[in-house]
Amino acid sequence: MIDDVRVAGGFAVAKGTFEGTSTPKAGGADEQALTQIERDWAAAGAANDAAGIDKLTAAEYVGNTDGLITPKKQLLANIKSGASKASSAEAGEMKVFVAGDTASVHGLWAEKSSLNGKDTSGTYRYTDTFIKRDGCWQAVGTFTTKLR
């Protein structure tokens, strides 16, 4: 995945824990909320909806794709200008980990996308990091690696 095209299609959710911590029961409120955020993010990304992505990411959000750092301001500017475009995505192998007011979501997907006219389509592995503020989850970081 390229941070500027943050898309991921339908999810298969798996359960996980951090050693020494517990997570909610499968289907718990936090896990469900994070899964929905990922689905909303996928829909916004596929629609090239900068406003939708803005709502799901914290002000300090930063993406990292294969070593390329993209702050939120640049991510949104790329979408708004049309420099970043997405048309489809297939996702799976999602795992949600919750530790208090911090969480991570790990996944794998394939997408059709471009950035500055360059084809960025491919299969990606990603990790999104979330924090819970005032009862709401927001993404603060994404790390992605293109697999093929």
Convert the pLDDT of each residue in 55-112 to its tens digit. Answer: 999 999 999 988 889 999 999 999 999 999 998 766 678 899 999 999 999 998 778 8
Give me the residue spans of the domains in the chain. Answer: 3-146
Residue 21: exposed, middle, or buried by beta-carbon count in 10 A (0-12, 13-18, 19+)? exposed
The dihedral of CA 143, 105, 71, 7: what is its sign? positive
User: Do 46 and 112 meet the contact criterion of CB atoms below 8 Å apart?
Assistant: no
Place of tokens 């499968």: 26
Place of tokens 């941070």: 3
Regarding predicted confidence, which is higher, 142 or 36? 142
Convert the pLDDT of each residue in 1-50 to its tens digit. Answer: 333 344 333 322 333 333 333 444 456 899 999 988 988 888 888 899 99
Q: Check: CATH 3.10.450.50 for 3-146? A: yes
pLDDT of 110 reads: 74
pLDDT of 46 reads: 87
Closest CA to 131 of 29, 68, 60: 60
Q: What is the pTM of this model?
A: 0.80
